[in-house]
Amino acid sequence: MKKQHIIPAAVLSVSTVLAACGNNEADQPAGAENEAGNEEKGELTIGVTPWTSTIPPTYVAKHIFEEMGYEVELTEADVSTIFIGLAGDDIDVYMDSWMPVHENYYEQYSEDVTNISTSYPEAASGLVVPDYVDDVESIADLKGREDEFGNELYGIEEGASVMDELRDLIEEYELDMELVASSEGGMLAQAQRNMSSGDPVLFYGWRPHSMFNEFDIELLDDTDEFFEEASVHVMAAKSMEESSPEAYEFLSNWSINIDDVEEMIVQIEEGEDEEDVAAQWVEENRDQVDEMMGN
Q: Is 172 exposed, middle or buried (0-12, 13-18, 19+ CB in 10 A)?
A: exposed
* 185 lines the binding site for other proteins (CB under 8 A): yes
> Binders of other proteins among 187-226, rule CB under 8 A?
187, 189-190, 192-193, 196-197
Q: For other proteins, give the closer residue by CB, 161 or 285.
A: 161
Q: For other proteins, give the closer residue by CB, 35 or 76.
A: 76
DSSP code per residue over 44-58: EEEEE-SSGGGHHHH
* 90 lines the binding site for other proteins (CB under 8 A): no
* 254 lines the binding site for other proteins (CB under 8 A): no
* 180 lines the binding site for other proteins (CB under 8 A): yes
Instruction: Please state the closest distance from residue 107 (CB atom) to other proteins, in A.
Output: 11
Q: For other proteins, give the closer residue by CB, 80 or 288.
A: 80
Tell me which of 34, 117, 182, 280 binds other proteins, using CB under 8 A. 182
Q: For other proteins, give the closer residue by CB, 78 or 176.
A: 78
Q: For other proteins, give the closer residue by CB, 197 or 295.
A: 197
How far is Cα 99 from Cα 119, in angstroms, rounded to an integer? 11
Tell me which of 7, 90, 148, 186 binds other proteins, using CB under 8 A. 186
Residue type, 74: L
Phi, psi of 142, rounded to the nearest 5 degrees:
-75, -25
* 105 lines the binding site for other proteins (CB under 8 A): yes
Instruction: Please state the closest distance from residue 210 (CB atom) to other proteins, in A.
Output: 14
Tell me which of 29, 42, 159, 245 binds other proteins, using CB under 8 A. 159
DSSP code per residue over 111-164: TTEEEEEEEEEEE-EEEEEETTSTT--BGGGGTT-GGGGTTEEE-S-TT-HHHH
Collapsed DSSP state (helix, strand, coil) of residue 2: helix
Instruction: Please state the closest distance from residue 231 (CB atom) to other proteins, in A.
Output: 21
Residues 6+ apart with CB under 8 A from 206: 98, 123, 124, 125, 126, 230
* 181 lines the binding site for other proteins (CB under 8 A): yes
DSSP code per residue over 234-286: EEEETTHHHHSHHHHHHHHT----HHHHHHHHHHHHTT--HHHHHHHHHHHTH
| CB neighbours of residue 248 within 10 Å | 20
* 79 lines the binding site for other proteins (CB under 8 A): yes
Tell me which of 103, 137, 158, 214 binds other proteins, using CB under 8 A. 158
Nearest to 172 by CA among 184, 182, 164, 183: 164
63, 279 contact by CB (below 8 A): yes
* 78 lines the binding site for other proteins (CB under 8 A): yes
Instruction: Please state the closest distance from residue 172 (CB atom) to other proteins, in A.
Output: 22
Q: For other proteins, give the closer residue by CB, 109 or 254.
A: 109
Q: For other proteins, give the closer residue by CB, 55 or 188.
A: 188
* Binding-site ranges for other proteins (CB under 8 A): 78-80, 83-84, 104-105, 108, 152, 154, 157-160, 180-183, 185-187, 189-190, 192-193, 196-197
